[in-house]
Amino acid sequence: MLSILTTVNPDAKVVLIRILGLNTNGRAGGYTIDDVTTALRWGVNNASRLNIKAVSISQGRVNAPCRATSELVGAVSSLKQQEVAVIASTGNEKNRTNIAVPACIDDVVSVGATDNPLAGSAWDRKVAPTIALYSNGNSSTDFYTNCRFFHTAMNGSKQFAVGTSNATAAFAGWWMRNLKPTITETYNSIASTATNTSNQWLTGRYVLIP
């Protein structure tokens, strides 16, 4: 995710906050809503000191209907009061009714994925975007954007991946490149550039990230 975010915005200054460990096979381990809440509270406590302007969360799972804890909602609200945007992925479960926690929280900028039909290739801006068939989404999803990236893995190799996590990291980088004095101004500025996108079940706003 860091590789994707900094591809979109090479000038971004990023603080990595761990919410999960690694399994013995080197893959990501488990985490809970409380882990995400703890990370956001760290952001609340350090937003001013580190000049934090956005938090990107490429984690989440569907707990319909948006079973976010009051503590998680409160942490998001506290960040918003400090003009720190929380940006989170909708998830990849093909759910066309519900989106993941914390993306489903009203104060979170939710990001779903768009795709194109060129399998195994990076995004082709010449191809009309459609909402990815695996992307969760509903009428409250804020934005969809491209999700196809070659990224740098932890061992330094180049790998190809798709998913709403990628779209969220890319969108967070784009948010910082278009940052305005307030969350509302930044949101409206990006929304003003959006076009419509859809698939058989969903429609929404598509943001082209060059």
Tell me how far CA of residue 171 lies from CA of 4, 33, 206, in angstroms.
10, 22, 11
pLDDT at 127: 78
Token pair of 54, please?
């956005």
Q: What is the pLDDT of residue 180?
A: 98
Q: Residues 67, 104: contact at Cβ < 8 Å?
A: no
What percentage of the chain has pLDDT greater than the value 70?
97
Convert the pLDDT of each residue in 32-48 to its tens digit: 899 999 999 999 999 99
Question: pTM of the entire structure?
Answer: 0.94
Q: Is the pLDDT of residue 92 over 80?
A: yes
**Residue 55, pLDDT above cutoff 60:** yes
Q: Say which range, 102-106, 132-136, 152-156, has the weakest mean pLDDT.
A: 152-156
Q: Indicate if the pLDDT at residue 190 is higher than 90.
A: yes
> What distance in Å separates the CA atoms of residue 113 and residue 149, rounded to the nearest whole number?
12
Least confident of 31-40, 89-98, 125-134, 157-166: 125-134
Question: Which DSSP state fits 128?
Answer: P
User: What number is the average pLDDT over the span 108-119?
Assistant: 86
Q: Is the peptide bond before 65 cis (omega within 30 degrees of 0)?
A: yes
119 pLDDT band, cuts 50/70/90, is low
Give pLDDT tens digits for 61-91. 888 889 999 999 999 999 999 999 999 999 9
* pLDDT average, residue stretch 116-144: 85
**CA-to-CA dists, residue 117 to 108, 125, 126, 158, 206, angstroms:** 30, 12, 11, 21, 17
Most confident of 53-67, 88-102, 123-137: 88-102
pLDDT, mean of residues 111-134: 82
pLDDT, residue 177, reads 97
> Mean pLDDT over residues 113-138, rounded?
83
Inform me whether the pLDDT recorded for 24 exceeds 80: no
The per-residue pLDDT for 117 is 64
